[in-house]
Amino acid sequence: MLFDDLFDSPQPGHREALGPQACVLRGHALDDVPRLLPALQDIQRAAPAKQLVTPGGRTMSIAMSNCGTLGWTSSRDGYRYTARDPATGQPWPPMPAVFLELARSAAAEAGHPDFTPDACLVNRYEPGTRLSLHQDRDEHDLGHPIVSVSLGIPAVFLFGGFQREDATQKVPLFHGDVVVWGGVDRLRFHGVQPVKEAEHPVLGRLRINLTFRRAG
């Protein structure tokens, strides 16, 4: 599948398996976009996205924020979840109802019922930015899935194995697509290739990724 100047998911309703308990739900978020975007603007006003520093001292290329009871953050002191935005000392914005509904419906559709996230990472990509291969393992209970929603310009998602050097699947993601992985696939390495230059008709030169987790 190639981008071919497409923005919305080209096969809404289609499910693509990435592993025994991992899949892409094409276009699953499209019907929620009219409610997602205003809620996203509220979050960005309350907790503006910022580029975090890794424990090794590297500045991440993407900018990040959070909503929910807990938010993921990084500094030279390590990766961790906090109840407050370290930049302001204020609690993270509450998770909007539409965010929670979308995360639950996508998880259930992918075979992970009864998922109730308490954290949503809001990742802001511009052309040229990327996310290195990593595992999501800072959560208290790894029995819950990850739900990842793509909005805006396309990107290529990398979905690998259980070692960083394992081969990766290269999965094009479009506006409205949702990736869900859990169970035996929960600790697979994953990342995002450098985002190509593009402009979405609504979000402009941006890709927004909403990543839902049960952290506490």
Sheet containing 131-134: give its strands across: 131-134, 190-192, 155-159, 169-173
186 is in an annotated binding site: no
211 is in an annotated binding site: yes
116 is in an annotated binding site: no
Beta strands per DSSP E along 143-216: 146-152, 155-159, 169-173, 178-181, 190-192, 207-213
177 is in an annotated binding site: no
3-state DSSP percent of the chain in helix, strand and coil, to 5: 15, 35, 50
Query: Which residue is listed with tokens 């954290």?
Result: 119
92 is in an annotated binding site: no
209 is in an annotated binding site: yes
26 is in an annotated binding site: no
200 is in an annotated binding site: no
66 is in an annotated binding site: no
Q: What count of other Cβ atoms lies within 10 Å of the Cβ of residue 151?
A: 24
213 is in an annotated binding site: yes
62 is in an annotated binding site: no
141 CB-near residues (< 8 Å, 6+ apart)? 214
99 is in an annotated binding site: no
3 is in an annotated binding site: no
Q: Which residues are annotated as a binding site for Fe cation?
A: 134, 136, 190
- In the annotated binding site, the residues are 72, 79-81, 123-125, 134, 136, 138, 164, 190, 207-213
Q: Residue ranges for the binding site for 2-oxoglutarate?
A: 123-125, 207-213
Binding-site residue positions for substrate: 72, 79-81, 138, 164
